[in-house]
Chains A and B, each alone.
Chain A
């Protein structure tokens, strides 16, 4: 029997339209807008000025503090201005606008396709290089990777878990990467293992990607300590806590981190970025983005420069369909609808999903019928209907004692609810209010 996590979970239709599409390099756009906060933590500080000429891969914003990340230019050209621009959050934030002129890369970057196996750097140097390349978690949470790699004193990561689950319907950027860049990916994984001094490395892949599993298994044979595991298809298996439970049967304590159970989890996209950073000296300035949707003419996996506007991706995938209802940044379960197509692709953009009118329509909200379906699917073992009611009534103390902060916002409850109740909307609201209360209490 295939491994999976034990509590809750759902199985939405997979809709992986682009699973076997090759990764296509999107042409360099005419202009890019690079937001200064593409990562979790403090926004970066711009180190370039208006009118400055810059090269591809040049540092343009410095991480501001420990939990922050450097940002590099994804194109070569001139800095137009540093101003506020709307990003995927739906709000305006400081961004660097660059007018593209040619595509001149920084000389330090190795642009050859040659596979570079050997890595003789020390643990500290690897982390240093990952920090310098501005690598963040590519699965969507965008947590700075160097912070994750710098373990707290006294903690040890026995297991390194690599997340190739990609449980979100529609998205295939990780799948494409595992098929086409398997060798590079494995080098990246072994570098991460070295940086953590991990005893065992486990790669978890859902069973709906048999070709990726086979490909990686073949390559993993050459490496010691790396094992590939096929997992039962179940959402939200790509959640850190769920994946740890599925692979090594350990439960991350409430309010704790994976390192509390001796693990660190990285996405396959992050491992590939680590390979490029450490072996090729290439900072994180492009990523693979799935552009998909049932009405779209050419759903594809693109390699995109960070800062490219979303509408250019949609153009390249055959143009905006007539019956577009919603454009979603991310997958259908956890993604967020965009209010404009002029927002830039960031380090955390794993996909752009175009839903048609019919798919996007919300159904009328009806009263809760106490069927407890939300309770049975919640992967964190919570009671979403109760949390929603508490949040609606603003009973924040009770919300906190009912561990609302453990919610991973996977949306399984809203998906399963037969009364179409916006459970997650309210729980997220409660979470942010409780978070604020906890922060003020700490001060």
Chain B
């Protein structure tokens, strides 16, 4: 009996050793040479695999970083400048800096502002609804409210506000990965430069209809009156197809345009209340009140 056990042990260990030796040489022969820096770079990346950089995952981005001589076209929006400088340090190159950005929704057509003119009872995704028609209001440019953007957001930075029917961006969580920009069939999201204290001024509308028609379909639509364009001291505003657009790079956040806008389609977020002297006329007073409640609401939503 003991002999059987002995033979078994000897033969099995012999077999194991031979296999180990063969495998060792095979592994040496067919070794895939990989730049060890790829692992280091991948370690420095956030590891969210969100695709915000344009690559399928963090490892692909790391490979591209190691391969390229400069960081042209390579930027991790989630990690931002900190991550990119860490990557640059590993690779011994100069870091590329970009201004941090944040997503904003260029539509403010809440249920109150945009009367519903028909009912949609089809599949509740924005992609399918927009393939079928302009939407359940008369504005064919505005938010459909089925939350395709919320679905794709990996960072918990978007949530549907069910009172307004619009998604709300949480500035703190938003990494500007651009997933919502790709998901929105109406192209309503824009990645804007982050200003101090997350202050923002932007035209929350994409309606390209003529003024009268736009106003009829939505009370907070941009009617293309050019008042903001004329008042802007920094030439940050451009008018195109009956629609104003504020260039975040040029905008100095002076808030002159906000007061000027007759339909309140320009939104200001994150500012302290205006001083008394600005409220000299009744009209601007009204304007300001509505603005304040507006931004207040958005901040409240974020806290929730």
Residues of A bordering B, CB below 8 Å: 84, 86, 89-92, 336-337, 339-340, 361-362, 365, 422, 425-426, 428-429, 432
A362 contacts B121, CB within 8 Å? yes
CB distance from B71 to the nearest CB of A (A): 26
Whether B292 sits at the interface, judged by CB under 8 Å, is no
Contact of A90 (CB < 8 Å), options: B127, B134, B209: B134
Whether B131 sits at the interface, judged by CB under 8 Å, is yes
Contact of B117 (CB < 8 Å), options: A336, A340, A361, A428: A340
B117 contacts A432, CB within 8 Å? no
Q: Which of B130-145 contact A (CB under 8 A)?
A: 131-134, 136, 140
Q: What does the 1/0 interface line of B96-124 toward A look like (CB < 8 Å)?
A: 00000000000000000000011001110
Question: Residues of B contacting A429 with CB < 8 Å?
Answer: 127-128, 131
Question: Residues of A contacting B128 with CB < 8 Å?
Answer: 422, 425-426, 428-429
User: Nearest residue in B to A422 (C-beta to C-beta)?
Assistant: B123
Report if A89-B133 is in contact (Cβ < 8 Å); known contacts: A339-B117, A425-B123: yes
CB distance from B61 to the nearest CB of A (A): 20
CB distance from A93 to the nearest CB of B (A): 10
CB distance from B185 to the nearest CB of A (A): 10
Instruction: Give bound CA distance, A429 to B123, whole Å.
Output: 11
Question: Residues of A contacting B132 with CB < 8 Å?
Answer: 90, 336-337
Contact of B134 (CB < 8 Å), options: A92, A365, A422: A92
A340 contacts B118, CB within 8 Å? yes
A362 contacts B209, CB within 8 Å? no
B131 contacts A432, CB within 8 Å? yes
Q: What does the 1/0 interface line of B137-165 toward A look like (CB < 8 Å)?
A: 00010000000000000000000000000
Q: 19 more A-B contacts (CB under 8 A) besides A86-B140, A429-B128?
A: A84-B209, A86-B134, A89-B133, A90-B132, A91-B133, A91-B140, A92-B140, A92-B209, A336-B132, A339-B117, A339-B133, A339-B134, A340-B117, A340-B118, A422-B122, A422-B123, A426-B123, A426-B128, A429-B127
A-B pairs with beta carbons under 8 Å apart, 20 shown: A86-B134, A86-B140, A90-B133, A90-B140, A92-B134, A92-B140, A336-B132, A336-B133, A339-B118, A339-B134, A340-B117, A362-B121, A422-B122, A422-B128, A425-B123, A425-B128, A426-B123, A429-B127, A429-B128, A432-B131
Question: Residues of B contacting A89 with CB < 8 Å?
Answer: 133
Question: Residues of A contacting B117 with CB < 8 Å?
Answer: 339-340
Instruction: Give bound CA distance, A336 to B118, whole Å.
Output: 14
B133 contacts A425, CB within 8 Å? no
Question: Residues of B contacting A428 with CB < 8 Å?
Answer: 128, 131
User: Nearest residue in B to A433 (C-beta to C-beta)?
Assistant: B127
Question: Residues of B contacting A365 with CB < 8 Å?
Answer: 123
Instruction: Give bound CA distance, A92 to B131, whole Å.
Output: 14
A91 contacts B122, CB within 8 Å? no
A91 contacts B134, CB within 8 Å? yes
Question: Residues of B contacting A361 with CB < 8 Å?
Answer: 121
Instruction: Give bound CA distance, A357 to B148, whole Å.
Output: 29
Instruction: Give bound CA distance, A84 to B123, whole Å.
Output: 28
Instruction: Give bound CA distance, A86 to B136, whole Å.
Output: 13
Instruction: Give bound CA distance, A426 to B131, whole Å.
Output: 10
Instruction: Give bound CA distance, A381 to B131, whole Å.
Output: 25
Question: Residues of A contacting B134 with CB < 8 Å?
Answer: 86, 90-92, 339
B122 contacts A425, CB within 8 Å? yes
Question: Residues of B contacting A339 with CB < 8 Å?
Answer: 117-118, 133-134, 136
Instruction: Give bound CA distance, A361 to B117, whole Å.
Output: 18
